[in-house]
Amino acid sequence: MYLMETKLLLKRNVISFMFFCKRSTVDLAYKIHGKPLSKNSVPILVIHGLMGSKKNFESIAKNIAATTKNTAITVDLRNHGDSPHTSSHTYLELAADISHLMKKVSVKRAKIVGHSMGGRTAMVLALTENPKVASLVVVDISPVSTAGLLNDFFPELLKVMETMEFQGKESISKARAAVKKVIIESGVMKHDDSIDFILLNVGLKPNKRIGWLCNVETLKKYFECIATFPSEMKGKTYKGPTLFIGGGDSKYIPPEDIKGIRIFFPKAELKYIPNVGHNVHAEDPKTFLKLVNQFLIKY
């Protein structure tokens, strides 16, 4: 009997600890574009994807801020860019971090634009904290299915990134050149013109040493969580205005997913931008911004 009680208590403690870890928050790095925040602001939060950063969306955010005459805020998610590195990386945590940031800058509601992993983060925030999300734009990611490319490409890339040695690299440019050579020689990336977004992760870390700005170890460890929409969202809905934007040449949002998408987001629209892949915003920024700005001005 004593052994059974001990095991039960231990199990409860483990569950409590896991729940605490899921909801623990960090202070995210962010940058404000456009007009300053005011008391009743409903700004636009722009969230990057896996191995991206707020720098990837600076020109996009500036355009959105100017066109909508609103404030746009770009953020670095945990384990990316200038934000803290942690030992875990779940969508519940990522959404909680965004919620914490909103509280920190005194924003009660925001319009959210999220790409890929950032899109799933935005979805989880909308589903778990409805009142905080005024409207939602999800870019080339689905809550229903996961593209094979995500499962096949990123784990292999992270393995290669983990083997990279930065000791002796005298400058960021030389370190990036070395990384580019290693990744291309590994065969993970066939075309060096698509490698630039990976190279942006090489920089000066807080300890003033050159290395990965993203937390390769944790991202590799939690990749299954990143590649899967959290099961905890089952039965939850967000009934606010929602726009899904997919790349016409991308496989991240199959057209048949719309039925499942509308179980979570009943008001969801799905639009495709032709002749672009996963990085819709970078491949055709003009069409992307037209769709996003029209939606954000309306909602």
Enumerate the β-bridge partners of residue 181. Answer: none
In the DSSP assignment, the letter for residue 38 is -
**Given 33, 80, 278, 281, which residue is catalytic?**
278
Write the CB contacts of 136 (distance below 8 Å, at least 6 apart in sequence): 111, 112, 114, 122, 123, 126, 238, 240, 241, 242, 243, 265
101 vs 78: CA distance, rounded Å: 12
* Catalytic annotation, pick one of 58, 129, 217, 232: 217
Is 116 one of the annotated active-site residues of the chain? yes
Contact status, residue 183 vs residue 189, Cβ threshold 8 Å: yes
- Is 194 a catalytic site residue? no
The tokens of 217 are what?
Answer: 């170890």
Nearest-angstrom CA–CA distance, 111 and 43: 6
Query: Which of 116, 135, 142, 250 is an active site residue?
Result: 116
* 85 in catalytic set: no
Residue recorded with tokens 């962010």: 30
Confirm if 136 and 69 have CB atoms less than 8 A apart. Answer: no
Which amino acids are annotated catalytic? 116, 217, 278
